[in-house]
Structure 1
Amino acid sequence: MFISYISDFQLSDRFGRKTMLAVGSVTYTLLANIISWLPNLTVLLVFRFCMGLMHPTSIHAGYTLALEVNQPKHRAATGILIFLPWAFCDIALGGYGYLLRDWRWFSFTVSLPALLFLPALWFIDESPRWLIVRGRYDDALQVLRKAARWNKAELPAEGELLALMDDIKKEALIDGKEGEASTPGFMNSLKVIVKEVTVLVKTRRIRSITLSFYMQFIVLGMVYYGISFGADKLGVDPFVYMAVNGVVEIPSGTVTIPLVGKLGRRLSCTLSFVVTAGSLMVLGFIPSGLNWLVITMAMVGKLAISIAYQVVFLYACELFPTEVRVRGLGTSTILAKAGAVLAPFILEILGSIKSWLPMVIFGIAGFLAAVSTFWLPESFTPPMMDTVAELEAVYGAKETRTATDEYQLEHPKEVIREQA
């Protein structure tokens, strides 16, 4: 997981979203198509390790890039629909795996379509938000002009744009001292590493956001995969169970869009965790013999945690500022994977005591995750922040929403300039 941390969000924040999306996608696709024909298990495991390294690299960089170039009104639809193919693939793989049992041909045929995505990388532009934070104003202007031309929009004067970009760059905590990162020596290199690692907990507001999402992602990984791994406990055919899981996840990629649009991110997140907790905790009180009710409640929990996954991922991407966005998502995802690692141990150890006990534990964890949302600000109306300093200026001044707060949330760049 540590190596995944280095290759994923640290390099994406340093070298760019498009760069790491391209590196991750190309490497993953090539390895996935080669792995089916490897001669021995050792080489296969090495390739699988490299694939596991590249998968989050491309996913997180691509997801972040997609949201950073979208207007606020389109972010929810983009951030949720982008994962809808996952549900359809779950449904298809259940049936396809049942029909094609040879693992080599199965792996090769499901990996081959990934080659169709690679030409699209040529037409993708870098995130202008990231370019601004890194001080590459000319490249950012080129991307913005291209976007304005395609959308038939008119940009402000170049001088005004450059002044705004300069304000954003000055507020960036990372590489704020340009000479420090390039100065040779062990101590200076160590200072840069410590600065990059601690930036997510350096100030009060970013610290509360980071720790809240860490709690939620641990629960997401543990509960989501815990329910998915519980097929044998429920006595269901694994192929059918996988297909049903895909069907259950389709609403999480569709009805979630109007849900977050009407209720906002925080309330949607809280409700989905509460429904998860309620549906799983009730399993401990269902009389034996009512297997249909057990499966029904488990699937309700799977639906709710799938919705929570979509909302929390969108929510985190909106709240983490541009300069640390992929870093925040990446560290959060590491904790989600840690939760997924815990899931089978909870199922086996606690399941040997009482079959329903693991699901109750997952339900309690879902309730705790719902409580952790109380420390998060709403991200429905305001634009995405670019720097940690901007986040602190907008969200950190007051916890209650007044007329002044509304102005700050809608005009963060103006607030920064006024305070300067």
Structure 2
Amino acid sequence: MEVSEPKYRAAVSILIFLPWALCLIVLGGYGYLLRDWRWFSVTTSLPCLLFLPMLLFLDESPRWRHDDALRILRKSARWNKAQLPPEEELRALMDLIRKEGLTANKEGDASTSGLVSSLRNIVEDVVVLVRTRRMRSITLSFYAQFFVLGIVYYGLSFGADKLGVDPFVYMAVSGVMEVPGGTLTIPLVEKMGRRASSTLFFVVIAGSLLVLGFIPDALEWLVVTMAMLGRLAITAAYQIVVLYVSELFPTEVRVRGIGTCTMVSEIGAMLAPFILESLGSIKPWVPLVMFGVAAFVASVITFWLPESRGAPMLDTVASLEAAYGAAEDARDSSLDHELTDKSATDTR
């Protein structure tokens, strides 16, 4: 995301989920044939070893690793047949970025100080996400969204038995539904923007789950249809919000912001099976209605976030506060003028 051109961000961020969808399709059939969960876990974990040599070909973000930035930029320019500015201009730009951000200095202090100072720096790294007004609004909004994404996505994933359908077929068809969620959303987020498209899919999730909760079990085809519609919508929402959070969090807090959002999502994922079992024992539709209401709340929360389509990825929290603060001030000023003009018209 950090090294992609703005016009390619949506495609890069969303298409990386396409192999996930294809693997879900394969795993449905693989699990049906293998059955033994221990061998299933072993054989699906071994391919992760293939990631280790890939690490040799990945570069650090050139934004903060200033010692390596010039080498990385030269390699990128060579691969893309692009022309770099003069070296003096690049070094001046890196010096400017170094002065704007204090992250490198903080990390250096943490590595040379004692345990207490290191823990204090860790707390400081987390607190920075909620210290300022706009940063706090963005962080808490995304926490709520990721919690809903985790609880609904895995609630639908684990709920095949509650819906009375074959779990292997359900998983394979779920993967099929994730394919359009990982492709068709690209032009959508470019046309509608991140905020409107994520709101739309949260509303679709809420509607499909609320309807699903009250469909008779005898209408199995309709149950599966609404469940798959919810699966498509939650997949699309997940991918759009991942893109959205990557663009809004400034570089100096992006890793910790996305990391804590992922942690909140996993908390929702852990709660999903317990909600299905405990509330599902009361009435099968209760957890589905709860998930639907949560998705609707997430759609409302999305309105608190600024739009990031076409906007530059900011480097510091200070730049985020200044950028979106100026936008809010301009919007408030425009609203004041409209109210003043309306009041003058009414008086006349």
Structure-1 residue corresponding to 2:58:
124
SS of 2:121's equivalent in the other structure is helix
SS of 2:113's equivalent in the other structure is coil
Structure-2 residue corresponding to 1:100:
34
Report the AA paired with residue 8 of structure 2.
Answer: H
Residue pair 1:172, 1:389 contacting (<8 A) in 2 also: no
Q: Taking structure 1 as reference, are residues 109 and 195 closer, same or farther at Cα in structure 2, changes over 3 Å only?
A: closer
In the alignment, the residues of structure 2 paired with residue 242 and residue 124 of structure 1 have an alpha-carbon distance, to the nearest angstrom, of: 32
In the alignment, the residues of structure 2 paired with residue 314 and residue 211 of structure 1 have an alpha-carbon distance, to the nearest angstrom, of: 17
Work out which of the residue numbers 75, 95, 101 in structure 2 matches 1:146: 75
Structure-2 residue corresponding to 1:28:
none
Structure 1 regions of 5+ residues with no counterpart? Answer: 1-66, 132-136, 403-420
Instruction: Quote the offset at 1:145 in angstroms.
Output: 1.1
Residue pair 1:80, 1:254 contacting (<8 A) in 2 also: yes
Structure-1 residue corresponding to 2:271:
342
Residue pair 1:206, 1:388 contacting (<8 A) in 2 also: yes
What is the TM-score with the length of structure 1 in the denominator?
0.74
Structure-1 residue corresponding to 2:185:
256
SS of 1:129's equivalent in the other structure is coil
Larger mean Cα displacement after TM superposition, 281-290 or 206-215: 281-290
In the alignment, the residues of structure 1 paired with residue 243 and residue 119 of structure 2 have an alpha-carbon distance, to the nearest angstrom, of: 32
Work out which of the residue numbers 97, 104, 109 in structure 2 matches 1:168: 97
Residue pair 2:64, 2:98 contacting (<8 A) in 1 also: no
Q: Render the CA deviation track for 1:251-302: whole Å, top value 9, x for unaligned.
A: 1111111111111111111101010011111234434532322221121111
What is the TM-score with the length of structure 2 in the denominator?
0.88
Q: Taking structure 1 as reference, are residues 282 and 181 closer, same or farther at Cα in structure 2, changes over 3 Å only?
A: same
Work out which of the residue numbers 217, 234, 250 in structure 2 matches 1:321: 250
Identity %: 70
**Displaced runs of 4 or more, over 4 A:** 102-105, 175-180
In the alignment, the residues of structure 1 paired with residue 259 and residue 274 of structure 2 have an alpha-carbon distance, to the nearest angstrom, of: 24
Figure out how many residues of one structure are paired with residues of the other and give that number: 331
Structure 2 regions of 5+ residues with no counterpart? Answer: 332-348
Work out which of the residue numbers 99, 113, 138 in structure 2 matches 1:184: 113
Structure-2 residue corresponding to 1:87:
21
Q: Taking structure 1 as reference, are residues 287 and 116 closer, same or farther at Cα in structure 2, changes over 3 Å only?
A: closer
Structure-2 residue corresponding to 1:265:
194
In the alignment, the residues of structure 2 paired with residue 359 and residue 270 of structure 1 have an alpha-carbon distance, to the nearest angstrom, of: 19
Q: Taking structure 1 as reference, are residues 163 and 93 closer, same or farther at Cα in structure 2, changes over 3 Å only?
A: same
Residue pair 2:11, 2:186 contacting (<8 A) in 1 also: yes
Report the AA paired with residue 129 of structure 2.
Answer: L
Report the AA paired with residue 322 of structure 2.
Answer: A
SS of 1:367's equivalent in the other structure is helix
Structure-2 residue corresponding to 1:49:
none
Report the AA paired with residue 5 of structure 2.
Answer: Q
Structure-1 residue corresponding to 2:160:
231
Instruction: Quote the offset at 1:187 in angstroms.
Output: 5.4
Aligned pairs for 1:211-226 (under 5 A) are: 211-226=140-155
Residue pair 2:217, 2:223 contacting (<8 A) in 1 also: no
In the alignment, the residues of structure 2 paired with residue 181 and residue 175 of structure 1 have an alpha-carbon distance, to the nearest angstrom, of: 10
In the alignment, the residues of structure 2 paired with residue 280 and residue 305 of structure 1 have an alpha-carbon distance, to the nearest angstrom, of: 11
CA RMSD, aligned part only? Answer: 2.1
Name which structure has the greater RCO, CA cutoff 8 Å, separation 6+: 2
Aligned pairs for 1:17-416 (under 5 A) are: 67-103=1-37, 105-131=39-65, 137-176=66-105, 180-181=109-110, 184-185=113-114, 188-287=117-216, 289-399=218-328
Q: Taking structure 1 as reference, are residues 349 and 186 closer, same or farther at Cα in structure 2, changes over 3 Å only?
A: closer
Residue pair 1:175, 1:181 contacting (<8 A) in 2 also: no
Q: Render the CA deviation track for 1:115-135: whole Å, top value 9, x for unaligned.
A: 44433322222211232xxxx
Report the AA paired with residue 205 of structure 2.
Answer: T
In the alignment, the residues of structure 2 paired with residue 178 and residue 114 of structure 1 have an alpha-carbon distance, to the nearest angstrom, of: 30
Q: Render the CA deviation track for 1:185-234: whole Å, top value 9, x for unaligned.
A: 56544432332121111211111110000000000000011111111111
SS of 2:75's equivalent in the other structure is helix
